[in-house]
Structure 1
Amino acid sequence: MTTKKEYKKNLENGIITEEMLELVLCSLDERAKRYKNKREQYNEQKKFLLTTLLKPTCVEKTVETKLVVEKIFLNSEEECEKYKKNPKFYNVICFSPIQVGEKTVIPADIILKEETEKYFLCYKTKNCVFYLPIENSDRYSNLPIRTVDRLKINDQKELVSAQFCKKLIELAKSGNYQHIPADE
């Protein structure tokens, strides 16, 4: 985590390069994973840098599927067959009839498929992709929406010190900086 002299000099001169920004954002991401008690703080710092220095390129949507089991009792084999044919259920498993008091019932597991859509603003730099969760995509109708199986994970091995992160954030907050994007 030794900070390059070039980066220190850039900060002294009010310069934020894309490479420096990537390192700080990846470092904040990694710290948010490692230090759960400070996760919110690191995520807020990341959000500030992303929204101050970069523009989102698209909205990425993921769909999480979760199976939920509800246990019920049915009155007959015919009722079990009706449940099995109902398309709103992912699966229905009927078990052997049992006696409950004077009544015979059929225990069954109704398996429901619940899908949850999650939306993320996608910010791209030359080497990395960063995401900010959003409630829905309505506010960002000017951006393309891409449905993805999973979000890309940055493979950044090099991290910078917490002090360097703090200094870069302070420089961005001052508004007195020059942001130099990477050469394409």
Structure 2
Amino acid sequence: VFTHFADTAKYLYEHLAPWAKANLGLESALVTGGGGNRATADGMPRDLASILTAFSPRSKERPADLAAEGEIDLLIATDCISEGQNLQDCDWLVNYDIHWNPVRIIQRFGRIDRIGSPNERIQLINFWPNIELEEYINLEQRVSGKMVLLDVSATGEENLIEAQSGNPMNDLEYRRKQLLQLQDAVVDLEDLSSGVSIA
């Protein structure tokens, strides 16, 4: 579970970790980058490397003699681990809050969607603000608009906000669909009163 703010991560950990352990038998950990790492597993070291290794032991190539430290099933973290970490043992990623910069969403997802993943499917779940707040800030429309701009600027990344289904397309068909998507998205982007910036 990714969130932008350390306070939100702590709140989620305090409410999810005890429930997950009592009801599901799952061990949880918290990583915020501020040194307040926590874990429900008894005897689990609280340093970043140990927690991430316990969460993704195969990708981190954990030595067999450290297996007694246990494993982490649920990791709640801030963006301090959204770059440069290989956590491909995981097959579910939850964005508890949506970062205004879609590249951050791609970086978060990139921690688990990696070459060599043992998982057949990777799931991405986004929590969007409630209707009143959404009307106030139009976050979903702005982030989706930025994702369209990123798609069209040939980043090579697929749109992680929009669910894509079907068989993989050949390059020409893929480009045609991208252009049609851009054509439809331009109308939506022109309707935005505040404009769109990818900065």
| TM-score normalised according to structure 1 size | 0.23
Give the number of the structure with larger relative contact order, counting CA–CA contacts within 8 Å between residues 6 or more apart.
1
**Which structure shows the higher strand fraction?**
1
| TM-score normalised according to structure 2 size | 0.21
**Which structure shows the higher helix fraction?**
2
Q: Which has the larger radius of gyration?
A: 1
